[in-house]
Amino acid sequence: MKILISPNAFKGTLTALEAGKILASELKHKYPQSKIEIHPIADGGDGTCELLGYSLKLSSRQIWSLDIKGKPKIGTYFYDGSKAYIDVSNVSGIGYLNPDELEIRVSSTFGTGLLIKHAIENGASEIILGLGGSATVDLGIGILQALGLLFLDENGRELTPFSYDMLFKIKHIQKPINFPKIDFTCVCDVRNKFGGDEGAIPVFGPQKGLKSVDFPEFEAQTHFLLDLLYKKNNLTFVDKQGFGAAGGIAAGLSAFFKTKIEIGSSYFFKKTGLKEKLVTSDLIITGEGKYDNQSESGKACFEILQMAKQNEKIIFLITSGEGLSKHGFDKVFYLPKLNFLLDDFKEKAKKNLKELSSQIELK
């Protein structure tokens, strides 16, 4: 039997690759005659470009960069000779922060911009930017600063990244003569526009430390800045699907660069050749932290389920929770609940998945 192990990340506990290796190890021990292949999946969420780098066997680059508050942090991106694959979450992400470390009036994507700048200086002509897991609502202004754009206050003084309330002090923009020419492909797992009731600020702002009382102020200022950015290039801002992801990064980049938005799961599947592996497999095993109705709005596990059914393949799901319907999967295996208040919850998550994997019956 040929088994394709394709989990998504178990958010907050296990990466997709970690989960895949645990599953493969236990199943190979139990069914040594089976041919097992690990092909972790992503949908534009946290770590998508890292998984792309792994799946495409790309070389990685590591450089010193800055986190969302300007503290030194090692950043990693992947490179294939012309394209650089960079996760915003790598240095500008929310995953490595405690809730009390979030400061929306200070946080900036400048560190991600330093990774992009390094990639450009080393020959990249296109940046594949994974937008999942960001900790900012800065319209990508930090990235633009790192690439050379100057943001000035009302007196024409240059504003520095990570300065408190920098977004509210911007009155003028100065574009350098040698501004880079680069294409962006922004990969995300949401279709929200930037503005409106389902936009970046009311929907995703609270996750990043933005309080509801501050919504009107941030709405007004970010729309003022979008108009300012686009006018600098003699353009008019038009809101689009995906502009709400990662605090409006794609919206800001589109003012100066050719920027394409890709919905993560379909982009990832096509890029990594998942379908070709799926059609030659007898069984697919996928999983994520909590599969629910939201998963059916384009998340990776739902999309691989559709692909499996179209090709008449058996597919199992591993997830947490109890009493959920099978949602079309042939079997669903439930992980026990975790206590995230305990220090060892990640180790417990690994142990739980290992024990569950050993219980999977293929017949």
pLDDT digits (tens, 9 = 90+) for 274-285: 999 999 999 999
Higher per-residue confidence, 96 vs 279: 279
Q: Is the pLDDT of residue 294 over 70?
A: no
Pick from 130, 129, 114, 138: which is nearest to 209 by CA?
A: 138
Beta bridge pairs of residue 59: 79
**What is the rounded (10 degree) CA torsion for 326, 329, 333, 336?**
-50
Whole-structure pTM value: 0.90
Is residue 293 very low, low, confident or very high in pLDDT (cuts 50, 70, 90)?
Answer: low
Number of CB atoms found within 10 A of residue 184's CB: 22
Average of per-residue pLDDT values in the chain: 92
Domain 48-265 has CATH 3.90.1510.10: yes
3-state secondary structure of 361: coil
CA distance 55 to 15: 14
Pick from 268, 319, 312, 272: which is nearest to 294 by CA?
A: 319
Number of CB atoms found within 10 A of residue 341's CB: 6
Strands of the sheet with 183-188, listed across from one edge: 59-66, 72-79, 83-87, 126-130, 183-188, 258-263
Architecture per CATH, domain 2-40+282-359, reads as 3-Layer(aba) Sandwich (3.40)
Separation of first and last alpha carbons in the chain: 11
Can you tell me which residue has the tokens 């996750």?
A: 207
* Intrachain domains 2-40+282-359 and 48-265 with the same fold: no
Q: Where are the domains of the chain?
A: 2-40+282-359, 48-265
Q: Is the pLDDT of residue 180 over 90?
A: yes
Q: What is the largest CA-CA distance in the chain?
A: 73
Residue 340's pLDDT is 74
Burial class (CB in 10 A: 0-12, 13-18, 19+), 274: buried
Summarize the confidence of residues 105-115 as an average pLDDT: 97
Residue 137's pLDDT is 95
> Using one digit for the tens of pLDDT, what is the confidence trace for 231-250?
999 999 999 999 999 999 99
